[in-house]
Amino acid sequence: MKLKHIILQTILMAGATWSLTSCNDFLDMAPLDQVTPQEYFNTTDHLAAYSISQYNNIFSTHGGYGVGTVNNDQNTDNMVAGGYSSTYFEKGQWRVPNTGGGWDFTQIRYCNYFFENVLPKFEAGKIEGNCEQILHYVGEMYFIRAWIYYSKLKSFGDFPIITEVLPDNQSVLTEKSVRQPRNLVARFIINQLDSAAKYMVDDISGNKTRLTKNCALLIKSRVALYEATFEKYHKGTGRVPGDATWPGKRIHTDFSTNMDNEINFFLDEAMKAAEQVADDITLTNNTGLTNPKNISGIVGWNPYFEMFAEEDMSSYSEVLFWKQYMNGGGVSITHGTPAYIFTGGNNGMLKSFVDCFVMKDGLPYYAAGDEYKGDKTIMDVKENRDLRLQMFVLGEKDLLPSSSTEEPALKEFKQPNIISLEAQTSDNTGYRIRKCLTYNNKQIISGQSQSTTGCIIFRGVEAYLNYLEAYYLRNNKVDGKAKSYWDAVRNRAGITGNFQTTIDNTDMNKETDLAAHPGSYEVDATLYNIRRERRCEFIGEGMRWDDLVRWRAWDGVLTNKFIPEGYNFWEEAYKTYELPEDVTLKDDPDDATSNISSRAFKYIRPFSKVRINNQVYDGYSWAKANYLSPVAINEMRLASPDNSTDNSVIYQNPYWPEKVGGTALEYKCRLHDRKNERRRKRVDSLVYAFIILWIEVVNYFTSQVSLVISNSWKL
How far, CA to CA in Å, does 300 sit from each of 295, 297, 410, 616? 12, 7, 16, 44
Q: Average of pLDDT values for 147-167?
A: 97
Decide if 44 contacts 52 (C-beta within 8 A). Answer: no
Would you state the pLDDT for residue 406? Answer: 61
Q: What are the pLDDT digits (tens) for 664-673?
A: 998 765 444 4
Which three-class secondary structure string do you get for 413-439?
A: CCCCCCCCCCHHHCECCCECECCCCCC
If one compares 20 and 474, the residue with the highest pLDDT of the two is 474
Residue 661 region by backbone torsions, left for phi larger than 0, else alpha for psi between -120 and 50, else beta: left
Q: CA 305 to CA 391: how far, in whole Å?
A: 7
Return the DSSP state at 554. Answer: G
pTM of the entire predicted model: 0.89
Name the least confident of 284-298, 464-478, 658-672: 658-672
Q: What are the pLDDT digits (tens) for 554-574?
A: 999 999 999 999 999 999 999
Would you state the pLDDT for residue 553? Answer: 98
- Per-residue pLDDT at 10 exceeds 60: no
Would you state the pLDDT for residue 699? Answer: 56
The CA-based angle 229-231-233, given to 5 degrees, is 65
Q: Average of pLDDT values for 78-98?
A: 96
227: closest CA among 151, 154, 316, 137? Answer: 154
Where helices occur in 558-664 by DSSP H, the ranges are 573-576, 633-638
315: closest CA among 292, 290, 281, 286? Answer: 281
Would you state the pLDDT for residue 39? Answer: 78
Decide if 416 contacts 567 (C-beta within 8 A). Answer: yes
Q: Average of pLDDT values for 612-619?
A: 96
Q: What are the pLDDT digits (tens) for 58-73?
A: 999 999 888 999 999 9
Confidence of residue 19 (pLDDT cuts 50, 70, 90): very low
Decide if 594 contacts 609 (C-beta within 8 A). Answer: yes
If one compares 115 and 20, the residue with the highest pLDDT of the two is 115
Decide if 458 contacts 219 (C-beta within 8 A). Answer: yes
Helix (H, G, I), strand (E, B) or coil at 81: strand
Angle of helix 480-492 relative to helix 525-537, nearest 10 degrees? 50
Q: CA 63 to CA 55: how far, in whole Å?
A: 13
- Per-residue pLDDT at 222 exceeds 60: yes
Q: CA 93 to CA 95: how far, in whole Å?
A: 6
Q: Average of pLDDT values for 193-213?
A: 97
Q: CA 36 to CA 49: how far, in whole Å?
A: 15
Secondary-structure breakdown of the chain: helix, strand, coil percentages, each rounded to the nearest 5: 45, 5, 45
User: Which residues make Cβ contacts (< 8 Å) with residue 192, sequence separation at least 6?
Assistant: 142, 143, 145, 146, 149
Would you state the pLDDT for residue 404? Answer: 62
Would you state the pLDDT for residue 602? Answer: 97
What is the residue-wise DSSP string for 245-290? T-GGGGT-TT----HHHHHHHHHHHHHHHHHHHHTT--PPP--S-S
What is the residue-wise DSSP string for 294-321? SGGGSSSS-HHHHGGG-S--TT-TTEEE
Decide if 427 contacts 417 (C-beta within 8 A). Answer: yes
Would you state the pLDDT for residue 27? Answer: 31
Q: CA 42 to CA 122: how far, in whole Å?
A: 9
Would you state the pLDDT for residue 693? Answer: 54
**Backbone φ, ψ for residue 656 (5° rounding):** -110, 140
Decide if 84 contacts 350 (C-beta within 8 A). Answer: no
As a dihedral over the C-alpha atoms of residue 475, residue 479, residue 485, residue 491, rounded to 10 degrees, the angle is: 130
Would you state the pLDDT for residue 713? Answer: 33
If one compares 297 and 159, the residue with the highest pLDDT of the two is 159
Q: CA 307 to CA 502: how far, in whole Å?
A: 28
Q: CA 715 to CA 710: how far, in whole Å?
A: 9
Q: What are the pLDDT digits (tens) for 305-363?
A: 999 999 999 999 999 999 999 998 889 999 999 999 999 889 999 999 999 999 999 99
Q: Average of pLDDT values for 93-112?
A: 96
Q: Average of pLDDT values for 43-63?
A: 95
Q: What are the pLDDT digits (tens) for 564-609?
A: 999 999 999 999 999 999 999 999 999 999 999 999 999 999 999 9
Confidence of residue 36 (pLDDT cuts 50, 70, 90): low
Q: How many residues does the chain have?
A: 715
Decide if 344 contacts 479 (C-beta within 8 A). Answer: no
Return the DSSP state at 600. Answer: G
Would you state the pLDDT for residue 711? Answer: 38
Would you state the pLDDT for residue 607? Answer: 97
Within 10 angstroms of residue 702's Cβ, the number of other Cβ atoms is 10
Confidence of residue 197 (pLDDT cuts 50, 70, 90): very high
Beta-ladder partners of 359: 385
How far, CA to CA in Å, does 589 sit from each of 66, 429, 594, 617? 30, 17, 6, 9
Q: What are the pLDDT digits (tens) for 456-467?
A: 999 999 999 999
Q: CA 573 to CA 587: how far, in whole Å?
A: 15
Q: CA 348 to CA 367: how far, in whole Å?
A: 26
One-letter amino acid of 469: E
Q: What are the pLDDT digits (tens) for 369-378?
A: 999 999 999 9
- Per-residue pLDDT at 264 exceeds 90: yes
| Average pLDDT in the chain | 89
